[in-house]
Chain A
Amino acid sequence: MPHLVPNIKKFLQLPRITFKRERIPEVTESQKTAASQDAKMEVEKDRNRAALRKTFYGRIIRSIVVGFWVMVIAFSLMRLSPGDPVRLALGADVTEEAVEAFRTQLGLDKPFYVQFWDYFTGIFRGDLGYSYFSGRDVTEILGTHLPVTLMIIGLSILFAALISLPLALWVATSKSNTVNYMFRALTSVSLAIPGFFLALLGLLVFGVYFNIAPAAGYEGAFPGNLKYLWLPALANCGSLVPVLSRVLHSSLVDTLDEEFVETGIIRGVRKSRFYWSYLLRPSLAPTVVLLSYMVGVMIGGTVIMETIFSLPGIGRELITAVDGRDYPVVQSIAMIFGLIVVFFSFIGDLTGYLLDRRVTLS
């Protein structure tokens, strides 16, 4: 369709053309064919529903299995890593008797498999243990701090979408080589910049010079807390935007070559409908699926952002817990992160399917 691409701009300025349906009074051969086609579509829909149900239940089971194995790995790695949580918790000024007494109190004198079994069975009772340092219930730690992290991730996704979609669309429909070149160059540079550097730069520019982003002092009530979250979310999506926009751009370029796009142009559909139904919707599926799988990357980025911006999220609690070898906190947070990643990947696959029925669920 190369002959049409240069004309898209001109086409988009043409007046809209509409068609009227004609009423057919009697059943014709084509109607009979349509009836059997309807029946076939019904069968197809039933098949899709069954596939969707199967996928849904399968993903739940997969989430549990992944969460379990993440927890096992975190449980094991923490105990294999150097550092004694008992001595770290008690400090340097402590007797050996106190160390052993505390070790017994925490159950760390038991064999590895006993410790694991105690923790694993505790999960089903809703008992994730207590922090060795603060004595806080791990469930309470998760309940207090996880929402902040989820808000940052959610905002990051929102900002990434708001930036990537129009950017990719503009570049894909642009006929300028300069635009394409600049797009590729800027996304490459942006990918190379580490998130923490972006964060500090943002803090310097927006926090110090423009004074519109507070460096600390997070307050939890929504929507007031948004003013503390927008900059970390923006910095966090610094690594997302180049990836998403390039993937979407590539999809859009492929879609522009499709015959149905040509049909849409010929039919003279409205611009907004053309952009959404003919260009974006068929192209978004791979991008949405990729976005969902990048939640794991975002979690890592969020941990850094929470430290730099002094946000009381679960990432910062994880860093503190890892540094102090606070086993129950680390294990539980790792397990929750595993569940979040799997959940988001399922949502991404489902959204991709809903956007484009050519995507098959397995």
Chain B
Amino acid sequence: MTSKKMRNVVLAFASASLLGSLLIGVPAAKAATGKNCKLTTPTAAAQCDAITVGAVGKVTSLDPSNSLRTSNQNYISKFLIQGMLWRIASDGKPKKDLLSDAKQSSDGLTWTLTLKNIKYSDGKTQVVADDAVFMFELLKKAPVPQLAVLDDVSAPDAKTIVIKTKTRFNDLPFAMAGIYFWMNPRALASDPKYWEAPLSAGPYRIKEWKLGDDKMVIEANPSYWAKPAVKQVTYVAIPDPVTRVIALRQGTIDYAFDLPAAIARGQLADKKVFRWQPTQLQGTFTLDFNLREMEECKDKVVSAASCLTAKKQPWHDVKVRQALSMAVNRKAMADIAFFGDVKPSCAITWPGHPAYKCQNPDRTKQNLAGAKKLLAEAGYPDGFPITITVFNRPGWADAIAVIAAEWRKLGSKMVVTTEPQTDAVGGARQTSGEYQVQFSGATGALPSQILNIYWGKGGAWQNWSGSSSNTADLQALDAAVTEKDQISLIASIEKKLWDESAHIPLGQRAVFGASRLPANVFSNVKGNDHYFVKQSPPLS
């Protein structure tokens, strides 16, 4: 072989080696492992060894006093690797988890709870009642509205917890099954370093995780009172929603929640491989008007964005707001922007809840003629300019595009601008009042939690909108004894909300997820974004 040919051969070999070294070990798509862990495996027989889940972001903190406890990615820690007195089951209702018994006093102000005989994940440390007292003390340092009703938590003995509430609160289990209350041993958890590797009294414990890691691996907790159907779960942070779809398609992950529906439906169309899981949440999409009038702007002629509402704006008139509500084609919005996964709604309380009721039965249907009539009565027969802002999340920008198209039919002067924004910018503008009308969505475990956002004094959207409030209504709702009382009180609040129409309900919030796993083995809870794993025996 000539030296030239030899050189070429060596060069080719070197190039192939370089390429090969880059690709060697590229795993074939990591399908979920386990002999009974296929898409078509019946739920009853399903048992998975290891699965991988795509999360929207990495877990940034397990410290309950850290503000990030409310962020979506940290839900991982709250529901699978933390012991809870009550836990949300697959049907969206709270069930006893670490409790063997729970009794409410006749006046409704005292709850007496009995713990199961259970240890933490180290196999040595016993779960005791004082751990609940410790959590209550932590909450006092970082109070949350959802548990503001708690007056005192005490532990008369190692297995008994006594909770006193300030007012009657029948939905305490719902509130305690949320993201704020879980059990950790006082002796160990008093050390701030503990939260880098906390013990677990929940179905899983941390196997592999370090603060700042994109990946968290959790394994079944041998000390838990039930056996989960999945032995190991690996969470991988995949911030880009399209990448989550691709990762699911290639098999790098087995389940993902909050996918862009349009792309996911196209890429994951093979029903033999993927199960679509659109999930209706316990929450509502709304249009929220800015009714705030800045005191400092009232007497000034200003053009700064923050003083927009100093001048009387068309939407400060309730007839205008109700007209705009009538002009929305909720079904078109749900079908076009959310592929029909969103259920059109006419109340803040979500459809499917027993208390859901439209004040005006036809309010979900578009009524352009009625809207134009109301606008004319308000003095805007041809419309006016308005800007709709929205956080740029899957489907949300499309939703306001549909709404804007319908509003433009109201008149020649109806100039509707749409502005998708990042969460930070949009959030800043909400807080400072630099918006006109915002498309948003809220969720909550209970109607009172969502209604508090819009009707409670200091509720997020009540505050940002400058709309009316009446906290006493919500306290009465929390104290309601029977479901009939609850429904009646909710109806009363919903009527007040409609009369003001500062917050226009559009449809029940929904997200799109997809899975390669057997049905009902691992998913997000119905009506919520808590994670759920099938276990035996089940929660009861």
Contacts and interface: CB of A to CB of B under 8 A. Distances in A.
Interface of A: 82-84, 87-95, 98, 102, 133-136, 140-141, 144-145, 200, 203-204, 207-208, 211-218, 223-224, 226-227, 230, 307-310, 312, 316, 320, 322-325
Contacts of A144: 212
Given A87-B431, A325-B424, A136 B212 contact: yes
B214 interface: yes
B424 A323 contact: yes
Contacts, number: 133
A154 B57 CA distance: 26
Contacts of B425: 82-83
Contact of A215 (B24, B144, B213, B250): B250
Interface in B222-251: 236-240, 242-244, 246-247, 249-250
A83 B70 CA distance: 18
A217 B21 CA distance: 19
B487 interface: no
Contacts of B57: 320
Interface stretch (B59-67, B78-86, B313-321): B59-67
A167 to B, nearest CB: 15
25 contacts: A82-B425, A82-B432, A89-B67, A91-B71, A92-B453, A93-B70, A93-B144, A93-B146, A95-B458, A133-B67, A134-B66, A134-B212, A135-B63, A211-B28, A212-B26, A214-B247, A216-B237, A216-B253, A227-B24, A227-B26, A310-B214, A310-B236, A310-B237, A312-B212, A322-B424
A200 B242 CA distance: 8
Given A207-B250, A217-B236, A98 B142 contact: yes
Given A134-B60, A140-B212, A214 B246 contact: no
Contacts of B143: 95, 98
A322 B428 CA distance: 13
B99 to A, nearest CB: 25
Contact of B252 (A84, A95, A215, A223): A215
A325 B28 CA distance: 39
A310 B22 CA distance: 18
A217 B211 contact: no
Interface string B25-37: 1111110000000
A174 to B, nearest CB: 19
Contacts of A310: 214, 236-240, 243, 247
A308 B22 contact: no
A82 B424 CA distance: 8
B60 A217 contact: no
B23 A215 contact: no
Interface string B508-525: 000000000000000000
Given A98-B142, A226-B22, A216 B70 contact: no
B176 interface: no
A136 B239 CA distance: 20
B214 A307 contact: no
B23 A216 contact: no
B254 to A, nearest CB: 12
B428 A216 contact: no
Contacts of B460: 92-93
Query: Which among A92, A214, A216, A324 has the highest number of chain B CB atoms within 10 Å?
Result: A216
A136 B211 CA distance: 8
B243 A133 contact: no
A224 B26 CA distance: 9
A307 B428 contact: no
Interface in B415-456: 422-425, 427-429, 431-432, 434, 453
A76 B461 CA distance: 30
Nearest to B464: A92
A130 to B, nearest CB: 12
B147 to A, nearest CB: 10
The 10 closest A-B pairs by CB, nearest first: A83-B428, A82-B428, A215-B247, A92-B460, A91-B70, A134-B60, A90-B67, A310-B238, A323-B424, A227-B26
B54 interface: yes
Contacts of B54: 216
B184 interface: no
Nearest to A233: B22
B215 interface: yes
B431 A84 contact: yes
Contacts of A218: 214
Contacts of A322: 424
B214 A312 contact: yes
B246 A217 contact: no
Interface string B3-22: 00000000000000000011
A25 B71 CA distance: 87
Contacts of A216: 54, 236-238, 243-244, 247, 252-253
B212 A84 contact: no
Contacts of B458: 95
A224 B267 CA distance: 29
B236 A308 contact: no
A217 B52 contact: yes
